[in-house]
């Protein structure tokens, strides 16, 4: 006696095919959802990195533009004491150094790298001017402060303030 396999009816075969299509569709949807989640995570990471860079640039720019220049203006106009001005400038220089270190470790593309180098070169002059400003504040020389602020400080700090580094 021969053993005969049971035959599967057409209706059962169609149900099986329908189930296979359903399973395939669900698998494609799950894979698509995973890919979309990864893409969203990647875009959010890029956005966070960009915002972090912008926050650091703003803080750096504020360190030079608001803290150093503002302290100079306020000391010149007797709004704060020489000692307070010196403390503001020294604190600003410490913060600026930290922001530069943080920016130097961030990844950059070729255009950003070029801009970073240009601003870093301008930083040398701005930092030298800040050091000279600290010396003048320690000496409490009003005439030297006025002359230095008008002729050297503002031109040295200008390249590392908002308008220059906004593209960076």
Q: Which residues of 11-49 are buried (b: 16+ CB within 10 A; e: fewer)?
A: eeeeeeeeeeeeeeeeeeeeeeeeeeeeeeeeeeeeeee
- Looking at 1.20.120, 1.10.3470, 3.10.20, 1.10.760, the CATH number of the domain 52-165 comes to 1.20.120
- The dihedral through the CA atoms of 67, 70, 76, 77 has a sign that is negative
Residue holding tokens 């950059």?
A: 108
Sign of CA dihedral 124, 133, 55, 105: positive
Percentage of residues of the chain with pLDDT beyond 90: 49
Q: Is the overall model pTM greater than 0.85, yes or no?
A: no
Report the pLDDT averaged over residues 132-146: 93
34 pLDDT higher than 90: yes
CB 31 within 8 A of CB 67: no
Q: What end-to-end distance do the CA atoms of the chain give, in Å?
A: 86
* Rounded-to-integer distance, Cα 124 and Cα 58, Å: 18
Domain residue ranges of the chain, discontinuous segments joined by + = 52-165
Q: Is the dihedral of CA 59, 63, 67, 69 positive or negative?
A: negative
Where helices occur in the chain by DSSP H, the ranges are 10-62, 69-76, 82-105, 110-139, 142-148, 154-157, 162-165
Q: Write down the mean pLDDT value for the chain.
A: 87
Residue 167 has pLDDT above 70, yes or no: no
What pLDDT, in 10s, does the model give residues 84-121? 999 999 999 999 999 888 888 888 778 878 878 888 88
In this structure, the number of other CB atoms found within 10 A of the CB of residue 114 comes to 12
Confidence of residue 76 (pLDDT cuts 50, 70, 90): very high
pLDDT at 5: 67
Q: In the predicted model, is pLDDT for residue 158 greater than 80? A: yes
Express each pLDDT in 48-61 by its tens digit. 887 888 888 888 88
pLDDT of residue 159: 82
Contact 129, 152 (CB under 8 A): yes
Looking at residues 64-78, what average pLDDT do you find? 90
pLDDT at 40 over 60: yes
């Amino acid at each position: 006696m021969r053993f005969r396999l049971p035959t599967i009816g057409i209706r059962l075969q169609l149900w099986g095919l329908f189930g296979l299509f359903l399973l395939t569709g669900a698998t494609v949807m799950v894979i698509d959802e995973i890919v979309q989640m990864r893409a969203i995570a990647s875009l959010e990471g890029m956005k966070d990195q960009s915002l972090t860079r912008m926050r650091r640039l703003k803080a750096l720019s504020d360190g030079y533009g608001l803290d150093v220049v503002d302290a100079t203006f306020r000391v010149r106009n007797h709004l704060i004491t020489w000692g307070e001005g010196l403390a503001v400038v020294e604190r600003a220089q410490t913060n600026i150094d930290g922001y530069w270190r943080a920016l130097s470790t961030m990844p950059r593309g070729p255009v950003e790298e070029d801009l970073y180098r240009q601003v870093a070169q301008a930083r040398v002059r701005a930092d030298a001017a800040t050091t000279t400003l600290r010396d003048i504040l320690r000496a409490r020389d009003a005439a030297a402060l006025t002359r230095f602020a008008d002729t050297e400080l503002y031109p040295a700090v200008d390249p590392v303030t908002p308008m220059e580094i906004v593209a960076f």
